[in-house]
Amino acid sequence: MRKIKRLLSIFTHSVYKSRKTQQADLLLLGKILSRQNKALQQVSNLAETEFRVFSQTGDDGIIQYLISKADITDHTFVEFGVENYIESNTRFLLVNDNWSGLVIDGSEKHINFIKTDDICYQHDLSTLCAFITSENINELISSGGISGEIGLLSIDIDGNDYWIWKAINVVSPTIVIVEYNSVLGSERAITVPYNPDFIRTKAHYSNLYFGTSLKALCLLAEEKGYAFVGSNSVGTNAYFVKKERLGSLVPRSAEEGYVQSKFRESRDVNGNLTYLSGKHRYNLIKGLPVYNVITGQVEAL
Domains of the chain: 2-300 (3.40.50.150)
Do strands 125-129 and 289-292 pair parallel, antiparallel, or not at all (unpaired)? unpaired
Q: Rounded CA gap, 68 and 175, in Å?
A: 12
Which burial class, exposed, middle or buried, applies to 269 when counting CB atoms under 10 A from its CB (0-12, 13-18, 19+)? exposed
Q: Which residues pair with 149 in a beta bridge?
A: 172
Nearest one of 19, 25, 82 to 56, comparing CA atoms: 82
Q: Tell how far CA 1 is from the center of its chain.
A: 26
Contact, 276 vs 264, CB < 8 A?
Answer: yes
- What tens digit of pLDDT does each residue of 176-208 get? 999 999 999 999 999 999 999 999 999 999 999
Whole-number CA gyration radius for the chain: 19
Q: What is the mean pLDDT of residues 156-176?
A: 97
Please name the helix (run of DSSP H) or strand (run of DSSP E) that holds residue 176, with its range, or none. strand 171-179
DSSP letter for 165, please: H
CA angle 282, 59, 70 (to 5 degrees): 115
Q: 10: pLDDT confidence band, cut at 50, 70 and 90?
A: low
β partners of residue 76: 100
Per-residue pLDDT of 57-95, as tens digits, reads 999 999 999 999 999 999 999 999 999 999 999 999 999
3-state secondary structure of 21: helix
Q: Which amino acid is at 284?
A: L
Query: CA–CA separation, 103 vs 197, rounded Å?
Result: 20
Average pLDDT of every residue of the chain: 93
Contact call for residues 125 and 100 (beta carbons, < 8 A):
yes
Confidence tier at 3 by pLDDT (50, 70, 90): low
Question: Does position 42 have pLDDT exceeding 90, yes or no?
Answer: no
- Please tell me the distance from the alpha carbon of residue 122 to that of residue 60, in angstroms, as a whole number: 20
| Helix (H), strand (E) counts: the chain | 12, 10
Q: How far apart are CA 266 and CA 209, in angstroms?
A: 10
Q: How far apart are CA 248 and CA 255, in angstroms?
A: 21
